[in-house]
Chains A and B, each alone.
Chain A
Amino acid sequence: MKRRFFLRTCVVVTLLLGLNYILWRWFFSLNWANWWIAVPLVCAETYNFIDIFFFGFTIWRSDPKYTVHLPADGLSVDVFITTYNEPIELVIATAKAANKIRYPHLTWILDDGAREDMRLAAEEIEVGYIKRGKNWEHRPLHAKAGNLNNALMSTSGEFLLILDADQVPYPEILDHTLNYFEDPKVALVQTPQWFGNVSPYDPLGSQAPLFYGPIQQGKNAWNAAFFCGSNAVLRREALMQLGLKRYVTELEIAMKQALRAADQILARTQRSSAADIPEAQNALRSVGDAIAQTRTAIRGGQTIADVTYALQQRVAGISKEMVKAHLDLMIEDLAAIREIHTETDEKWDVILDIEKTTDLLASHELSPLGALEAVSTLLRSLDVDRPGEAQPLMPLATMSVTEDMATSMRLHEMGWKSVYHHETLAIGLAPEDLSSMLKQRLRWAQGTMQVMFRENPLFQRGLTIAQRLMYFSTMWSYLNGFAAVVYFTAPVAYLCFGVLPVKAFSTTYFYHFIPFMIANQLLFLVVSKGISTWRGQQYSLSLFPIWIKAVVSAFKNVYFHHPLAFVVTPKTGQGVRNEWRLVKYQIAVAIVLVLAMIVGISRLVSGRSEPVGTFVNVAWALWDLGLMSILIPAVRFRGSQSKEK
């Protein structure tokens, strides 16, 4: 209790000092003459202030204590080990550890690589083996979410422990987590991810002591502990319920879009000159009627299964007659349509698929017959069997490459609870080189941004205000790449050209800024109880190109349907040679900062700038360089010693 009071005092003091600083910056210190740097800078500072506010809000109710109660006997549990291309020995080591989990359970290896060796190895140690079935052929695979969704359909445990291939579980992992499910509303128990192959120096910043600590504990207190993809236990009933609900929602959306698109194609064809074949005219009219009736039926409260069944039957009937009448005319169009199909088959989103199909069809000159075929293709795609997907139910969210966060958000929307249990119950392997680490960070950031653009937590019904802020704050923190660019530009602008973003670097400036900065650093220190958060701060600035790339590519993906590459992080080093090119932007920034310091000091010596401003900006540039200096050991890093043995 005492600690919590102290913590809250720190939060309040930091935020008050921050508010004092930010208000002064906006209203009393902005140098409008240099608005092009002054405004971005004050925006970047406001961004960080809001970030600190979110941090304070997160930890407000944070509780580091947890207790262990043994669960009741007789629960049924499946342990899922997901793998794609990890070495077989590594997966088997995890599976053997899973076999030793004390609470009775079944262990399964979910092999997305469909490797025969993997199957045999699994058989040898008597664990289950699941790979994708035929139904997934030529359909979107949805990566890990698809792998888990596939396994859900062929297993029956009431609870599921999910482990990445490298996460070796402790025997007590289920004994210490299952008891939380005594509360029938709990859908998820997440435990920390801790990496065994990382030295205390941790050059790649793999450990996340702040996240798997105060942040998740804080989110937990707001009933918003995130699902992090591995080392978590889930309740099957909650996942299946989510799958059912999403199935209905997506059917309804797909239905509306397909009907609208079909209308558009029909209207366009009816206007075109080719529509003068009387049978075609009649057929088009019949399809139009069928669509109109479908709409009326939906409005009248008829079920989707009935409505689509009737619609499919009618359209099939009309098509059959037309084919009889004009077989020859169709051949050409069919070729065009088939071509469209192969283009869209590998897309991974039903809804996107419909949009894309319509776009493609609109770009082709279609005869009435072709249009008819196109419309029936479109209408078939909205059937209740979701022909574009391997299975109708997708309990784990497929809308983002970080299926975990999206899934827990949707569970929270449905009123389920989540728990963060702060006890390390599995040990994993962190990426062993910079390039793997960068790929991993990029994917996390991209996935988080996809969720922000697709289903912004601020506007999701069913979430409490606190839950909305908990999800949004994580997304907010991924926007800092843009702020970083401003923080590099401002000192360079002053040192090289004497451009002042503030009215003056005077004592008033220090009065406002210094207390806030000190309070902020102290807050981090107090919250983390001395665990170093320095690595985290370093990478948060240093990886600015990754953060920017993530935001931009996710934006293009969500709004312009550009593909987003899914990269599986290699768990053993790849031995990439010239890794300096991975950090070329950072190197460029570092060079510019060093040059700027030289120019700034020579300007000072030659009397063209004043000492305080130069001092502040040199210190600022040094601070930037100090944070980015972590990239030097990171690039040179070639895997940890512990792996060698």
Chain B
Amino acid sequence: MEIHSKLVGEGVTVLKLQGKLNMVSAPRLREEVHAAVAAGNSRVAIDLTGVDFIDSSGLGALINGLKAARQAGGDLRIAAPSEQVRLVLELTNIDRVLKAYENAESAFSD
């Protein structure tokens, strides 16, 4: 999996993921989120457009990231999940916790 990080607006980090978000790549995502939060950009948007497969460990990394962001006073939001990702979100009931925004750039525009 590839992760591209960029800053948009004021203090919002967009992490654009490409590939499989699974038990192998989950630790890397966790590190990226922690790095962003440590750098003071605790509002993190995860762009899932390029993620064609996610497993429970991948979701776990998202929830871990959410914790890190919230503890720093920010938030973690997800955007543009594919059909497979959406199904896993529903299967694990995580869709009741995390809302999928339409696109990452505007996830924090409220």
Contact = CB atoms under 8 A, between A and B. Distances in A.
A247 B23 contact: no
Interface in A232-277: 236-237, 240-241, 243-245, 247-249, 251-252
Dominant SS among interface residues on chain A:
helix
Interface stretch (A105-113, A284-292, A300-308): A300-308
A237 B56 contact: yes
A248 B60 contact: no
B75 A237 contact: no
A154 interface: yes
A245 B67 CA distance: 16
B99 interface: yes
B94 A240 contact: no
A634 to B, nearest CB: 45
A393 B99 contact: no
Given A245-B92, A383-B70, A303 B60 contact: no
Given A304-B96, A305-B75, A247 B56 contact: no
Contact of B97 (A158, A236, A240, A384): A384
A63 interface: no
B59 A392 contact: no
Interface in B1-51: 23-24, 26-27
Nearest to A158: B23
Contacts of B56: 236-237, 240-241, 243-244
Given A158-B23, A386-B67, A248 B57 contact: no
Contacts of B77: 305
Interface in B62-110: 63-64, 66-67, 70-71, 75, 77, 91-99
Contacts of A154: 27
B55 interface: yes
Contact of A237 (B23, B24, B66): B23
A237 B92 contact: no
A293 interface: no
B57 A237 contact: yes
A113 to B, nearest CB: 25
A237 B75 CA distance: 26
B92 A156 contact: no
A640 interface: no
B96 A156 contact: no
Contact of A248 (B23, B67, B94): B94
Nearest to B93: A248
Contact of B64 (A153, A156, A248): A153
Contacts of B66: 305, 384-385, 392
Contacts of B71: 385, 387
A391 interface: yes
Interface in A389-406: 391-393
B26 A244 contact: no
A150 to B, nearest CB: 12
A510 interface: no
Given A236-B23, A309-B75, A385-B71, A391 B96 contact: no
Given A237-B55, A241-B92, A305-B97, A393 B75 contact: no
Interface string A308-319: 010000000000
B27 A156 contact: yes
A308 to B, nearest CB: 9
A303 B63 contact: no
Contacts of B64: 153, 391-393
B27 A305 contact: no
Given A156-B27, A156-B57, A237-B56, A244 B99 contact: no
Given A243-B60, A391-B64, A393-B60, A303 B70 contact: no
A244 B75 contact: no
Contact of B63 (A156, A249, A302, A392): A392
B55 A303 contact: no
Given A236-B23, A391-B64, A393-B60, A302 B97 contact: no
A13 B104 CA distance: 69
Contacts of B60: 153, 240, 243-244, 393
Contacts of A241: 56, 91-92
Nearest to B72: A385
Contacts of A392: 63-64, 66-67
A252 B66 CA distance: 17
A244 B91 CA distance: 10
B57 A303 contact: no
Contacts of B55: 237, 240
B56 to A, nearest CB: 3
A391 B66 CA distance: 11
A303 B67 contact: no
Given A237-B56, A237-B57, A303-B97, A244 B23 contact: no
Given A305-B99, A384-B97, A247 B24 contact: no
Contacts of A306: 99
Nearest to B58: A240
Nearest to A248: B93
Given A252-B96, A303-B96, A244 B67 contact: no
24 contacts: A153-B60, A153-B64, A156-B23, A156-B24, A236-B56, A237-B55, A241-B92, A243-B56, A243-B60, A244-B56, A244-B93, A245-B92, A247-B63, A248-B94, A249-B93, A302-B99, A305-B97, A306-B99, A309-B75, A384-B67, A384-B97, A385-B67, A386-B67, A387-B71
Given A157-B23, A252-B96, 18 more contacts: A156-B57, A237-B57, A240-B56, A244-B56, A248-B97, A251-B97, A303-B95, A303-B99, A304-B96, A305-B66, A305-B77, A305-B97, A384-B66, A384-B70, A384-B97, A385-B66, A391-B64, A393-B60
Give 7 nearest A-B pairs by CB, closest first: A240-B56, A385-B67, A385-B70, A244-B92, A248-B93, A303-B99, A241-B56
Interface of B: 23-24, 26-27, 55-57, 59-60, 63-64, 66-67, 70-71, 75, 77, 91-99
Interface of A: 153-154, 156-158, 236-237, 240-241, 243-245, 247-249, 251-252, 302-306, 309, 383-387, 391-393
